[in-house]
Structure 1
Amino acid sequence: MAAPGAWTLRPHDTPPRTDWAARPRYAVSDFATLLWRERLLMIVIFAIIAVLGLGAALTMKTSYGANSSVLVRLGQEYVYEPRAGDAARGAVPDSDQLIQSETEILGSAALKQKVIDRLGLARIYPQLAAKYAAGGPTEKKLIIGQAIHALETNTKIETAPGTPIIRISFSSEDPQTAALVLNTLLEEYLIYRRSVLTDPTSPALEQQRTAFEARLAEADRAYEDFLNNNRIGDFVAEKASLGQLQAQIETQKYQTEAQLRDRIGRLSALESQLNGVSQEVGLYRDISSAASDKLAQLKVQREDLLSRYHNDARPVLELDAQIAQLEAGISAGRTHSDGARRIGVNPVYQTLQTEKIQLTAEVAALKQSTAALGEQVDQLTERRLKLAELEPQFQELSLDRDVLQANVRDYTVKEEQSRAAQEIAAGSNDNIRIVSRATAPSKGKSLKKPVMVLALLFAAFTAVCAGLLRMFLRPGLPTAQSAARTLDLPVLAAAPFKIQ
């Protein structure tokens, strides 16, 4: 006899399943029916979550965002100035590094602290101000930290690569407060960045300069002691003057020696001449004129006789005979005789003697001059050798002084430049320009609508998930189609389901 139900099987049908504990199999069409059965649970869950979400959305306040922008350009404070030497002098960062450094300054907590100190906590966050007034020292520090954190959270800083613009925004529940805080932040930023970027090396430079000045004073004392101990006024000038003086004296010595040899030669020749010159010489010689005078007297007597006698008178003839005889004697030279003669010092000999005396004195003087010049040359040579021996020590002292003087001069210049840069930086921010200052925003931003939508979506999602979970956890086979798929048996009839 055939088994019950065998007549309903066909040869190509799948054998019925005997594992009744198998999980139910669902189709997409089953979910709508099954979820509808769990509608009350889903509605309750959706309502609870939706009410909570809407309540949270309604408690959210409107936020007003103030915006501003800053133009950043390369400034003197970013140009590298080495403290010593010239290595990498004038190096500057690129634009991205420049923007990044300014952004870090804008976002620093110290800057937020300055804004709070300037405006007061009650002006920015009144609720925190009330807690601050009632709190102790520890609580006050925590509240200030919370205020700084809130400022950092509400402040947004945006940059773009290759763009020298920094955009800053601040959000607050009060539009006036948002604009005030942002403008104050920018003003404090312009002041605060000076203390951050300005090179605080002036005290260090001053200390280093003072140290070099002290060392220079010691070097000056050592230099002065060296000069005083060696009786030197100016080493370089004295060395140069000694060289010039020695050259002049040596030249003068050579000239004196040449003059001495000339005078000695002339003196020797003069002595030879003196030996051949007579010391005395006749000055003049007188010639006797007695015959001529006698002849003239006789002629005078004849003229006198002619005044008394005739030419042929005997006295006249006698006188004529005397005249003729005397004239004949004069003509024959019988009446000529030497007169007086005078002898004196030979002037040539006297001149030669005088010149000899002068040459002898000149030779003696030139010999003394030559000896004196020789002594002077020896003294100058000795002094120059002494200076040459002292020159290494002088060069060392001079080098130390020159190096220290150069260091003092360099550090003085650097100190003045640093002080001038600080004063210029303290008075201006030429490389930082506020493109647009913050104004009170007229429109605010609120997350009420997005939160409401998200709350409704989350409530719906949660309700569906709860319905699916309840659906999967119900025992039995929920629908005839699910039973047929699960048992691999056809369902011939189904009784209506009544919800208990």
Structure 2
Amino acid sequence: MSTTSAWTSVPHDPPSQRDWATRARYAPTDFVTLLWRERGLMLAVFLVILALGVGFSMTQKKSYTAQSSLFVRLGQEYVYEPKAGDAARGAVPDVDQVIQSEAEILGSGELRERVIRKIGFVNIFPAQAGKYAGATPEGKRKLIALGRDSIAKSLKIETAPDNSIIRLAYQHQNPDMAEKVLNTLLEEYLTYRRGLLIGADDRVLQRQRDIFEQKLAETDASYQSFLSSNDIGDFTSQKTTLTQLQSQVEQQKYSIEAQLQDRIGRLAAVEAELRRTPTETVLYRDNDMTALAKLTQLKLDREGLLAVYKPDATPVRDIDARIAQLEQGVAAGRTNGEGARRSGPNPIWQTLQTTRNDLNAEVAALRESLAEYSHQVMDVNQRLMRLSELEPQFNALTRDRDVLSTNVRDFTVKEQQDEAQRRMSSEASDNIRIVQRAVAPSQGKSLKKPILALTILFAMFSAACAGLVRMFLRPGLQTPASASRTLGLPVLATAGVKR
């Protein structure tokens, strides 16, 4: 092969000294010339890389992408229902949180493993059929784990903010299998999410209710034992009755005390009056009417004389004088005399005696009643004091019974509600709707063309790099222009050189 070398003003310098003393300087036009000299090497590198890329692209097979979408709304399973108490009851997440939760469930490894086991590992990965058939149980589990990861790489789940749609895409070399895997994933997802969000019937509420029922039975036994040992039928009603009875008895006692004081006062007054009243008295007495009869007779005689005499006659004046004299004596009481008299027991004294006896009887009866009512008041107070001493224990037992009874009732209601909710949720997922089921794609995609394009670009780049490396590694100054720029001397002539 012949090349052209340049003559310079220092042609006899040793090559080694010239290489390290001066570095070749090139212009853009020199690169075209020098790279053309390395066209053989560059073509060889380009063809080798191109052949490798074409061979690799030929191994790529078409893949088919099945697509589906889900519409997700807020469901009952996202409403917070505490097992005990009412704290934060009814709290719900926002729509984006629900979408992200459902997307995480769709991408869970457990769900992908369910799909593999339902369809069959060999059906999804036919290339691994022989290896799977001859593998041990542990090896099969590892292959299923690898298949689960492979499905995760081929499965694409897309969500968008403020959007209730989840889009899914699955890529497989078989279009029918792509459709089947994605539809099976959706079916298993609807079943898996119900068990995950709603949970299995773990009977937690029933066990807790049984515990409360057992405690309630023990408390009831203690309560009944307390009542029977203290001879109490109904503590509350008995205390209420005793309180009312205490009020009535004390009221009766105060009333009898007032009556007793009244009767004692009346008895004292009657006895004082009785001491002043004589036991006997005149029952009746006749008055002497002789003077009055005489006076009446004289007046009759005067009237008879008037029939014979004049009023101023002597007989008339005499009888008038006698009448006047007798009237003066009657008026002065000189003519009064004792008549018939009768004495006997004094009726006033007898009435006072009877009243005193009655009052004595009433006082005695009232004193007996007062003593009885005082005894009753004392008895009722003692019974109330006994109930007051027992009341703290009774209140504690009653409080425990009420609390446990309320807990049993609440947990029974919660258990029934939880069971009803689980049954309704297990039958349908109303908040999850499949907008579009997967269908077998009719067109596939392959990486042949992108690989070929990248191979060509990489081969061209590698060939250019090889040519540049070979160019810079050649000794000497390759072109007259480069020699002139490098040495700063004019090039007078060039001559061809044979190697």
Structure 2 Cα separation of the partners of residues 169 and 352 of structure 1:
123
Which residue identity is paired with 1:249? Answer: V
Structure 2 Cα separation of the partners of residues 277 and 93 of structure 1:
109
Structure 1 Cα separation of the partners of residues 497 and 140 of structure 2:
67
1:291 matched residue in structure 2: none
2:38 matched residue in structure 1: 38
Moved more, 422-431 or 432-441: 422-431
Structure 2 Cα separation of the partners of residues 37 and 462 of structure 1:
16
Query: 1:385-400 maps to which residues of 2 (within 5 A)?
Result: 385-400=385-400
1:328 matched residue in structure 2: none
1:185 matched residue in structure 2: 185
1:136 pairs with 2:136? yes
Secondary structure of the structure 1 residue equivalent to 2:68: strand
1:224 pairs with 2:211? no
Secondary structure of the structure 1 residue equivalent to 2:66: strand
Which residue identity is paired with 1:175? Answer: P
* Alpha-carbon offset, residue 240 of structure 1: 0.8
1:244 matched residue in structure 2: 244
* Alpha-carbon offset, residue 97 of structure 1: 2.0
Is the contact made by 2:122 and 2:132 (CA closer than 8 Å) also made in structure 1? Answer: no
Structure 1 Cα separation of the partners of residues 207 and 464 of structure 2:
78
Is the contact made by 2:43 and 2:463 (CA closer than 8 Å) also made in structure 1? Answer: yes
Is the contact made by 1:81 and 1:89 (CA closer than 8 Å) also made in structure 2? Answer: yes
The equivalent position to 2:18 in structure 1, one of 17, 20, 42, is: 20
Structure 2 Cα separation of the partners of residues 380 and 73 of structure 1:
69
2:160 matched residue in structure 1: 160
Query: 1:371-386 maps to which residues of 2 (within 5 A)?
Result: 371-386=371-386
Query: 1:247-396 maps to which residues of 2 (within 5 A)?
Result: 247-257=247-257, 366-396=366-396
Structure 1 Cα separation of the partners of residues 103 and 83 of structure 2:
27
**Alpha-carbon displacement from aligned partner over 1:54-74 (angstroms, at most 9, x marks no partner):** 111111111111111112222
Structure 1 Cα separation of the partners of residues 352 and 173 of structure 2:
132
Structure 1 Cα separation of the partners of residues 392 and 52 of structure 2:
96
Structure 1 Cα separation of the partners of residues 13 and 265 of structure 2:
163
Structure 2 Cα separation of the partners of residues 186 and 276 of structure 1:
126
1:122 matched residue in structure 2: 122
* Alpha-carbon offset, residue 277 of structure 1: 8.7
2:328 matched residue in structure 1: none
Secondary structure of the structure 1 residue equivalent to 2:495: coil
Q: What RMSD, in angstroms, separates the aligned Cα atoms of the two structures?
A: 3.6
Give the count of matched residue pairs.
Answer: 428
Which residue identity is paired with 1:454? Answer: L
Moved more, 16-25 or 412-421: 16-25
Which residue identity is paired with 2:495? Answer: A
Structure 2 Cα separation of the partners of residues 98 and 243 of structure 1:
62
How does the TM-score come out when normalised to structure 2? 0.75
1:316 matched residue in structure 2: none
Which residue identity is paired with 2:185? Answer: L
Secondary structure of the structure 2 residue equivalent to 1:151: helix
1:89 matched residue in structure 2: 89
**Alpha-carbon displacement from aligned partner over 1:342-385 (angstroms, at most 9, x marks no partner):** xxxx9999999999988777665554443333222211111001
Residues 202 and 371 of structure 1: CA distance in aligned 2, closer, same or farther (over 3 Å): farther
Secondary structure of the structure 2 residue equivalent to 1:82: coil
1:420 matched residue in structure 2: 420
1:113 pairs with 2:87? no
Residues 258 and 156 of structure 1: CA distance in aligned 2, closer, same or farther (over 3 Å): same
**Alpha-carbon displacement from aligned partner over 1:262-304 (angstroms, at most 9, x marks no partner):** 677788899988x9899xx9xxxxxxxxxxxxxxxxxxxxxxx
Structure 2 Cα separation of the partners of residues 361 and 186 of structure 1:
104
Residues 17 and 486 of structure 1: CA distance in aligned 2, closer, same or farther (over 3 Å): farther
Secondary structure of the structure 2 residue equivalent to 1:495: strand
Is the contact made by 1:38 and 1:471 (CA closer than 8 Å) also made in structure 2? Answer: yes
Secondary structure of the structure 1 residue equivalent to 2:434: strand
1:76 matched residue in structure 2: 76
**Alpha-carbon displacement from aligned partner over 1:296-315 (angstroms, at most 9, x marks no partner):** xxxxxxxxxxxxxxxxxxxx
* Alpha-carbon offset, residue 36 of structure 1: 1.8
Residues 23 and 377 of structure 1: CA distance in aligned 2, closer, same or farther (over 3 Å): same
Structure 2 Cα separation of the partners of residues 367 and 174 of structure 1:
115
* Alpha-carbon offset, residue 205 of structure 1: 3.1
2:457 matched residue in structure 1: 457
Structure 2 Cα separation of the partners of residues 277 and 435 of structure 1:
125
Structure 2 Cα separation of the partners of residues 481 and 163 of structure 1:
68
How does the TM-score come out when normalised to structure 1? 0.75
Moved more, 488-497 or 359-368: 359-368
Identity %: 55
Q: Which runs of 5+ in 1 are unaligned?
A: 1-7, 10-15, 282-345
Structure 2 Cα separation of the partners of residues 210 and 144 of structure 1:
43
2:234 matched residue in structure 1: 234
**Alpha-carbon displacement from aligned partner over 1:104-151 (angstroms, at most 9, x marks no partner):** 111110010111111111221122233211111232122111110111
Is the contact made by 1:199 and 1:418 (CA closer than 8 Å) also made in structure 2? Answer: no
